[in-house]
Chains A and B, each alone.
Chain A
Amino acid sequence: MNRPNMAPPTMAPWPLVMLAAPLLPFATLDGTALYLPQIPAALALFALSVATILARRLPGSALGEALLLLAGVAAAYATPLVLLTQGHALAQAGGLWLSVAGTTLLLWRVLALLADVAGPVRLAGPALFGLALVMLWEILTRGFQVPTILLPPPSLVLTAFAANAADLWDDFRQTVLISVLRGYLIGCGAGFLVAILADRVPFLARGLLPLGNLASAVPVVGIAPIMVMWFGFDWQSKAAVIVVMTFFPMLINTLAGLQSAERIQLDLMRSYGAGYWRTLAMLRLPCALPFLFNGLKINSTLALIGAIVAEFFGTPVVGMGFRISTQVARMNLDVVWATIAVAALTGSLLYGALALAERHVTAWHPSFRKR
């Protein structure tokens, strides 16, 4: 909606459900339900949340309002954590959860306000969203005392992360820096080169493409043990699994990309008497770039999955897959979650870096261009 700058849209009334919170218990202590006035810390934080809603117009700008409301949300999210440290039980604290729910709706407005703010502040939106999810995860798992075997709170995962940092780093090095990187480079490189060869030799392309469909249907858990038998426990077998998984996506994407140059663009090159390789370098590869990046991005996640799964089937005593399989057996789920966090972070960073590079290299492409 396009409104004049100075008047941010009026607030939806839903966050106000938290005003009903004082009617319900906020915590139980030794079996007795406690209401808001009986817990000074909760009362203070609740008052702070309500005050920020009432005072939201005072800063006079969207950013100011967002920051103020954010303080209110933070206060509400802090409440259950404070109560837990004081020894309260929260599983029956209807009022508390109502206020958490209300302020979560308030966060919605904070994100909407931030999305309209110009400049780098916009980037804070997604970060806040992620942070809020982690906070809710922490509050809910601890508030309802979810068994840590099922889902440990993030704080526990963080502790495990710190306690096992050395192991996790070794795993990261073995799995990502050695297996994934090598397998990924070999798989994507081979896919790319074979695509260029197949482009010159049409029967090769006709023969390889059906094989590609076949290969993409082969399950990792099937080939991984075979590769371990062929190439041994170390990184070579993981790299082999990754090569099998990434080769065809790269091949198919590169082939499609090479076909994407338009006839008139090709005619132009031909009219200049440009040969095959020059046309490839000056026209067809630039045309193929969006397709190449597509393949690289798909493969970045495939490679990580492939390496971790392959490590289940034999590895030197290090590696993310190895860590997960052994720690699950020992019920150390916090370490498992820490490893999962490392894998997820690595995957997103890899993907993000590729997406950024793509944006930079193919800024001319219709999906990115800005006038």
Chain B
Amino acid sequence: MPAAQPAPLTLVPPAAEPAPRTIVDIRNLTLTYQAADHPVYALSDVSLSISKGDFISLIGPSGCGKTTLMRVVADLEQPTSGEVTVNGMTPEQARLKRAYGYVFQAPALYPWRTVERNVMLPLEIMGLPKAERQQRAREQLELVGLAGFERKFPWQLSGGMQQRVSIARALAFAPDLLLMDEPFGALDEITRDHLNLQLTRLWLSTRKTCIFVTHSIAEAVFLSTRIVVMSPRPGRILDVIDCDRDLPRERTLDIRESPEFQRIAHRVRDGLMEGHSYDD
């Protein structure tokens, strides 16, 4: 696998960007769940460092620890061993500073709040004035194609629409670090493409750091600066693929036809197959 060699420093795009600052640093992270009968090795010796402005995709078979890894970063799960720092702080400090926008694998909307008030929930917690809350909620709902649904209740929406509300909720509050767990899993292909485009645009304009879980290779290659391929039992990192070198930052949907795109996709697929062979 010759393409796997890390790029020499001189090949980094010559743009006048300062050396990227590390925002998430994961070192030798191990997490074992104590299930009733036997321990589950959800993560084993995972090390990963994420720079500011990175778009990282986690991809791997079901149960390989993608969600667990994100939860550890967001301080929703305590590691068994290893170290995680976020912006130089512990995950807990970062959480209390409201650094995270977490889109869960399920929508997690509050049924007693209207769509609009669901999106405004984190803004209320942050104590923003009402007018600004409303304006931000409007903008984000429009972005995910849900303008006009502000006054509906979550249970009056389809599953995919609910998931888009939860994306709008995470975006509305403009966190430093956006953690998205299969946000587009429940959407049709066209909506998914549309939201993929929106997401790259948003990411380009804000340069937020994103960690993104997906099962779609095309989606991972299209969105990411780096793709982390994981394998299960125990959950660990098999391969980290740099997409930024071969693909332009600004991407349109036709890029998926390009040979560079295909080559990266192929390498992700190889990694995934290697992980799956451990299953048997």
Spell out A's residues near B (CB within 8 Å): 262, 264-265, 267-268, 270-274, 278, 282-283, 286, 289, 362, 364-366, 369, 371
Contact = CB atoms under 8 A, between A and B. Distances in A.
A365 B111 contact: yes
Nearest to A279: B125
Contacts of A283: 110
A264 B112 contact: no
Given A267-B76, A270-B76, A271-B76, A369 B108 contact: no
Interface string B89-133: 000000111101110101010111000000001101110000000
Contacts of A264: 104, 106, 108
Nearest to B97: A273
Contacts of B261: none
Contacts of B203: none
**Max chain B Cβ within 10 angstroms of own Cβ: one of A264, A366, A371:** A264
Interface residues of B, number: 26
Nearest to B170: A271
**Max chain A Cβ within 10 angstroms of own Cβ: one of B95, B97, B112, B121:** B112
A371 B158 CA distance: 12
Contact of B108 (A268, A278, A286, A364): A268
B41 interface: no
B108 A273 contact: no
Given A264-B106, A267-B76, A272 B125 contact: yes
B125 A364 contact: no
Nearest to A278: B125
Given A271-B74, A271-B76, A265 B112 contact: no
Given A270-B95, A271-B102, A369-B153, A265 B110 contact: yes
Contacts of A282: 121, 124-125
A272 B122 contact: yes
Given A278-B125, A282-B121, 14 more contacts: A264-B106, A265-B110, A267-B71, A270-B76, A271-B74, A271-B76, A272-B98, A272-B125, A272-B173, A273-B97, A289-B112, A362-B112, A364-B153, A369-B153
Contacts of A369: 153, 155
9 smallest beta-carbon distances between A and B, as pairs: A271-B102, A364-B112, A264-B108, A273-B96, A364-B111, A272-B125, A286-B112, A273-B98, A268-B108
Nearest to B122: A272
B28 interface: no
B125 A271 contact: no
A288 B121 CA distance: 18
20 contacts: A264-B106, A265-B110, A268-B104, A268-B108, A270-B76, A271-B74, A271-B100, A271-B101, A272-B98, A272-B121, A272-B126, A272-B173, A273-B97, A273-B98, A274-B125, A282-B125, A364-B112, A364-B155, A365-B111, A369-B153
B49 interface: no
A267 B102 CA distance: 9
Contacts of B153: 364, 369
B81 interface: no
Nearest to A369: B155
A331 B75 CA distance: 73
B112 A268 contact: no
A267 B108 contact: yes
A265 B126 CA distance: 18
B105 to A, nearest CB: 8
